[in-house]
Each structure stands twice: as C-alpha cells, then as structure tokens.
Amino acid sequence: MAEGVLSTSPAAPARRRLTCVLAVVAPLCLAPLAACHDNISAATADNAQVCYSFSTTTPVKKVLVSPGDENLETCAMHLEGWRLMHKLPAVTGSYQGHYVFASVQDITSSTGPKDIRYRVYTPGQHADLDQKLQTLIERTPPAPDGQNTLDNQNTQGDTQK
C-alpha cells in the first residue's frame, strides 16, 4: 500500500528524472578524478620506497640517497646519515610524496615545504641515532678516490632531475 502511495505522489516523476540525471552525470564527473588517481598512483609506484635528497644547486635536483627504504622513518635515518657524512647543518629530502627535513636540531616530516612539520624522532632518539651513525661513518674506510664508501654506494650515477 505504501508503495502505491509513493509512486503516485506528485514528487515521483521529479525523483525519477533526478535519478536518471545522476546516473548519467555522476560517471562523467568521476571519470577525471579516476584518471587523476591513476596518475598519482603511477607517480608513487615509480618512487615507491625511494629516498631522495634535494641538491642545494640551481636548478634543484633529486639525488638518490637510498633505494629500498621500507618507511619514512628509514628514509629519515638515511637522510640524517647523509647530512652527517657531508657535514651539513640541514638537508631536505623526499619519500613517497612527503618532505623530510634533517637538521642538527631535529628530524621532521611534512606533506609540503611550508606545511606543518611532524617530528619523526624524539630528541633522545635523534641523539642516539646521531651517535650510532657517527660511529658507523668513522669505522667506514675511505674509498681510494678519497670519498666515503657509504657515499659511493648510494650516489653512483643515480642523480635525477
């Protein structure tokens, strides 16, 4: 009985027209978004588990730091090691669309260069990490060409624009 009342109500034809319009318009509106999602997925897949440092030269280049990082924390650790090896006060890098900032004060991450930064390691963890990385750097013998062998493992021919 209620079914008959709804189908004979004055709003029923308008409701049917709206349903038909939505059935046609919704896929057209969502198609560009789906294509955008595929582009984002493809870009992320190309850089999956890759940690980069940004060069300080102009134009800025992405320099491969480590190719198989499992997560952002591992990339942050590698960037901190990079900073210590090159005796830099700070370095900026990227990992799967996130910015990673390693400095003497702290190691942070954000989704953009001017976005809110979140601490990756606590001050105690950062100090412990620096101590362990410094020990590793000191124990690594220099390569015949005078560069650190850790540096050679990560940068041979892996500079990208």
**Three-state SS letters, 61-110:** CEEEEECCCCCHHHHHHHHHHHHHHCCCCEEEEEECCEEEEEECCCEEEE
pLDDT digits (tens, 9 = 90+) for 56-76: 777 888 889 999 999 999 999
Q: Does pTM surpass 0.95?
A: no
pLDDT digits (tens, 9 = 90+) for 7-33: 555 666 655 554 444 344 444 443 443
Say what the pLDDT of residue 60 is.
82
Parts of the chain with a pLDDT under 70: 1-47, 143-161
Say what the pLDDT of residue 15 is.
54
Neighbours of 159 (CB within 10 A): 12
Cα 11 to Cα 24: distance, rounded to the nearest angstrom: 20
**Residue 112 contacts by C-beta under 8 Å, 6 or more apart in sequence?**
99
Say what the pLDDT of residue 62 is.
87
Say what the pLDDT of residue 16 is.
57
Say what the pLDDT of residue 145 is.
60
**Residue 115 contacts by C-beta under 8 Å, 6 or more apart in sequence?**
99
